[in-house]
Amino acid sequence: MDAYLYDDHIGTVTPTRRDRRQVTFTVNPSFAGAPGLLSEGFSLVPGTTVDTRQVSNFLGGYAPEGNHRIQLARKARIDESDLFAFLKKYGLTMAGALSFRTDSPGDHAPGAYRPLNTREVIRKLETAQRDFDLGNEPDSGRSMLPGFQPKVLLAKFADEWAYPENRAHSTHILKPPPPHRPATIFDEYYSHELSRHMGLTRFQSELVTYNQVTFLAIQRYDRIVEGEAVRPIHQEDAAQALGLDWTDSAVKFQNPEQPHSPLRPTARRIAELFGSFGDGTDLEIWLQHLVYNVIIGNHDAHAKNASIVHEPKGDSRIADLYDAVPILHINDDPSRIGSRKIGDELSLAIGGEFNHHRITLDHFYAEAASWGGIGKRRIESVIRDTLARLAVALNDTPVISGGSPALRDRIGYNLDRIESGKSIGKPKRPIAAWSKRA
């Protein structure tokens, strides 16, 4: 099976007989691109075979996780851990600009967009919630995207939705509200608004309601739209770049029992990735992402929620902040008294601390200092500036109707505690209204 980056043939992939979780990747002898064009985890050397384990974990990292992957495999009648079969069935369009093409004529045609009406969009959302199919259709859908949650991949031109057939690229990710907690998509949108205000996120998003069905539509930051032409931009997440086991969904989290395990990520290991390219500003942006996620209460900021964008000419940069969803406030909801508590353990420790409630300014200072790439004064400046910008964003950003009650108050509480040098802790109920800054 042929591997293409953009429309350049970069190599071939074959099954590995001894282990269906792995594939063999041989670089095209005529490949003339930069060695790191595909991944920060390995180099492309013309005519050579890439390390099997490393490239398999990289490629497998583009697949969905958990029940999402199980359902896609069941639909295609393949084994959920059969990497070659997954790439063959769902690897025509993926995150970034990598594409796997068979001898089928449809794999080499440009693809087309079929307009959808509102009823068809709603039907795709309902089907995705039930079947985890990403909106793929049997004869023309061979796309996949990492993650656990149901979603639909569609294109939007002007104000019209369209289904991308074969090699046509989607431009948006549509998320239906989770049945057990519908406020989640509203809270995620509120986070988008805050991070856009701060300049940490540039992609657009919107809450859309059709016939009383509301969903979150997120513009893909790895796609460039020019009229009705869609061009992909290559990317990989930190779990892929670190070569973490693609078959184990837990490896994207740092292990509190073995915090220095080389099989798991740490904030420092990811910082080393971001510090290996550019002029050093990506390292500072990573620090801003960490601060932001802690303050808004997102302790699900794992290694698959931090990514590297690889530009066509070979330059790399940290991706926009994404999937930053507030979680910590959920236990504040009075209606949840007596319910099972949401865990408060961070996906990545900050300054050696995993407990979200115990994080202080000193943990951020210690974490960033351990990276060795930013001076002490600059660390303090970046952190203080991030906190100040978040305060302004909270001031200026309206509360989202349909979201969690008092979410802004809880984020403001976290912000005030951190700025004063205290740990985040746990607020008294009911939480006091956050006072806007003058």
Helix (H, G, I), strand (E, B), or coil: what is residue 23? strand
Note whether 153 and 266 are same-domain residues: no
H/E element, 342: none
The residue written with tokens 């390219």 in the block is 277
- 391 touches 198 (CB < 8 A): no
> Among 107, 124, 146, which residue terminates a domain?
107
Q: Which domain holds residue 47?
A: 2-107
Check residue 139 and give its pLDDT. 81
Note whether 82 and 121 are same-domain residues: no
Note whether 379 and 302 are same-domain residues: yes
Task: DSSP for 40-94, please give it.
Answer: SSS---TTPBPPHHHHHHHHHTTS--HHHHHHHHHHHTS-TT-HHHHHHHH-SB-
Decide the pairing of beta strands 316-318 and 307-310.
antiparallel
Of 264, 248, 291, 308, nearest in space to 387 by CA:
291
Note whether 288 and 355 are same-domain residues: yes
| Domain membership flag for residue 140 | yes
- CATH number for 308: 1.10.1070
> Among 84, 107, 130, which residue terminates a domain?
107
Token pair recorded at residue 418? 């951190």
The residue written with tokens 């837990």 in the block is 250
| Domain membership flag for residue 435 | no
CA distance 13 to 25: 5
Check residue 104 and give its pLDDT. 87
Decide the pairing of beta strands 152-157 and 160-165.
antiparallel
Helix (H, G, I), strand (E, B), or coil: what is residue 282? helix
Check residue 338 and give its pLDDT. 54
Note whether 362 and 280 are same-domain residues: yes
Note whether 208 and 323 are same-domain residues: no
| Domain membership flag for residue 175 | yes
What pTM, to 2 d.p., does this model score? 0.95
| Domain membership flag for residue 426 | no
Structurally, how many domains does the chain consist of? 3
* 433 CB-side CA count, 13 A: 5
| Domain membership flag for residue 317 | yes
Give the CA angle between residues 344, 349, 354 to the nearest 5°.
35
| Domain membership flag for residue 428 | no
Check residue 380 and give its pLDDT. 98
Note whether 364 and 319 are same-domain residues: yes
* Phi/psi of residue 53, nearest 5 degrees: -65, -45
CA distance 227 to 319: 24
- 107 touches 167 (CB < 8 A): yes
CA distance 238 to 253: 11
Q: Is the dihedral of CA 340, 174, 287, 391 positive or negative?
A: negative
Note whether 169 and 301 are same-domain residues: no
β-bridge partners, 342? none
Note whether 219 and 243 are same-domain residues: no
CA distance 26 to 145: 24
Burial, 81: exposed, middle or buried (Cβ in 10 Å; 0-12, 13-18, 19+)? middle
| Domain membership flag for residue 19 | yes
> Among 49, 81, 107, which residue terminates a domain?
107
Note whether 169 and 220 are same-domain residues: yes
Tens digit of pLDDT at every position of the chain (438 positions): 999 999 999 999 999 989 999 999 999 999 998 999 999 999 999 999 999 999 999 999 999 999 899 999 999 999 999 999 999 999 999 999 999 999 988 888 888 999 999 999 999 999 999 999 999 998 888 999 999 899 999 999 999 999 999 999 999 999 999 988 999 999 999 999 999 999 999 999 999 999 999 999 999 999 999 988 999 999 999 999 999 999 999 999 999 999 999 999 999 999 999 999 988 899 999 999 999 999 999 999 999 999 999 998 888 999 999 999 999 988 776 665 555 667 789 999 999 999 999 999 999 999 999 999 999 999 999 999 999 999 999 999 999 999 999 999 999 999 999 999 999 998 987 788 888 776
| Domain membership flag for residue 277 | yes
Type of residue at 331:
N
Check residue 129 and give its pLDDT. 93
Note whether 175 and 275 are same-domain residues: no
- 347 touches 290 (CB < 8 A): no
Note whether 222 and 279 are same-domain residues: no
- CATH number for 184: 3.30.200.120
H/E element, 130: helix 118-131
Buried/exposed code over 281-301 (b: 16+ C-beta within 10 A; e: otherwise): ebbbbbbbbbbbbbbbbbbbb
